[in-house]
Structure 1
Amino acid sequence: MKNILTLLLTVLTSFSMMADVSVSDKAVLLKLYKATNGDNWTTKWDLNTPISTWYGVKLDGDKVIAINLSDNNLVGEIPSEISSLVNLQELNLHKNNISGSIPYALENLKELKVLDLSFNKLTGIIPATICEMNNLKDLELYMNRISGELPSQIGNLKSLETLAVFNNEIEGQIPNSLYEVKTLKVLLLNSNKIVGKLSVNVANLENLENLSLFENNMDGQVPFDLEKLNNLKEMNISYNMFSGLTSRKLAVLDTLNMTMVNDKGVAVLLDVKMDVERPLVSED
Structure 2
Amino acid sequence: MKNIVTLLLIFAFSTSLLANIPNSEKNCLIKLYQATNGNNWDNKWDLKAPISTWYGVTIKNDHVVGINLSNNNLVGTLPVEITNLKNLEELNLFKNQISGKIPENIGNLKNLKELNLSFNKLTGAIPNSICELTHLNSLILFMNQLSGELPKQIGNLKELEVVSLFNNGLSGELPTTLYELKNLKELMLSSNNFSGHISWNVQNLKELQNLSLFDNKMDGQIPLALAKLDNLRNINLSYNSFSGTVPKVLAEKDDFDLTMKSESGIAYQLQVTNNAKGILAADE
TM-score by length of 1: 0.93
Please state whether the residue corresponding to 2:160 is helix, strand or coil: coil
Residue 220 and residue 16 in structure 1: after superposition, are their counterparts in 2 closer, same or farther (change >3 A)?
Answer: closer
Change (3 A) 1:277 1:245: closer
Where structure 1 has 5 or more consecutive residues not aligned to the other structure, the ranges are: 1-6
Which whole-Å CA distance do the structure 2 matches of 1:70 and 1:17 have between them? 23
- Distance in 2 (alpha carbons) for counterparts of 1:218 and 1:111: 34
Question: Would you say the 8 A contact 2:246–2:279 is kept in 1?
Answer: no
Q: Structure 1: which amino acid aligns with 2:200? A: V
* 1:224–1:279 CA contact under 8 A, matched in 2: no
Name the CA distance, whole Å, in 2 between partners of 1:249 and 1:200: 17
Q: Where do residues 156-195 of structure 1 align in structure 2 (5 Å cutoff)?
A: 156-195=156-195
Shift of 1:228: 1.1
SS at match of 2:30: helix
Which residue in the other structure is 1:56 paired with? Answer: 56
| Deviation (angstroms), 1:186 | 0.3
Determine whether 1:283 maps to 2:271: no
Structure 1 residues 24 and 263, CA gap change in structure 2 (3 angstroms): closer
Shift of 1:250: 1.4
Q: Which amino acid counterpart does residue 233 of structure 2 have in structure 1?
A: K
Secondary structure at the residue paired with 1:159? coil
Distance of aligned partners of 1:159 and 1:227 in 2 relative to their CA distance in 1, 3 Å threshold: same
The yes-or-no answer on 1:46 pairing with 2:51 is no
Residues 92-171 of structure 1: pairs in structure 2 closer than 5 A = 92-171=92-171
User: For the aligned residues, what is the CA RMSD?
Assistant: 1.8
| Aligned partners of 1:20 and 1:52 also within 8 Å | no
Question: Aligned partner of 2:280: which letter?
Answer: V
CA separation of 1:277 and 1:241: change in aligned 2, threshold 3 A = closer
Aligned length: 275
Q: Is the CA contact (8 Å cut-off) linking 1:112 and 1:133 kept in structure 2?
A: yes
Q: Which amino acid aligns with 2:174?
A: I
Following TM superposition, by how much is the alpha carbon of 1:255 offset from its aligned partner in structure 2, in angstroms?
A: 1.8
- In 1, are the aligned partners of 2:224 and 2:276 still within 8 Å (CA)? no
- Report the 3-state secondary structure (helix = DSSP H, G, I; strand = E; otherwise coil) of the residue aligned with 2:220: strand
Q: Shift of the alpha carbon at 1:276?
A: 1.1
Provide Cα deviations, 1:192-227, integer angstroms capped at 9, x if missing partner: 000001111111100000000000000001111101
Match of 2:214 in 1: 214
Instruction: Output the CA distance in 2 between the equivalents of 1:247 and 1:86.
Output: 48
CA contact (8 A) 1:200 1:223 kept: yes
TM-score (ref. length: structure 2): 0.93
For 1:137-166, what per-residue CA distance to the aligned partner results, in whole angstroms no more than 9, with x for missing partners? Answer: 000010000000001010110000000010
Counterpart for residue 4 of structure 1: none
Change (3 A) 1:11 1:131: closer
Cα distance, 1:137–1:279 mapped onto 2, change above 3 Å? farther
CA positional deviation for 1:46: 1.1
Compared with structure 1, are the counterparts of its residues 201 and 18 closer, same or farther at alpha carbon in structure 2 (3 Å cutoff)? same
Identity of matched residues, %: 54
**Structure 2: 5+ residue stretches without partners:** 1-6
Counterpart check, 1:228 vs 2:228? yes
CA deviation after TM superposition for structure 1 residue 253, in Å: 1.5
Return the letter of the residue paired with 1:180.
E
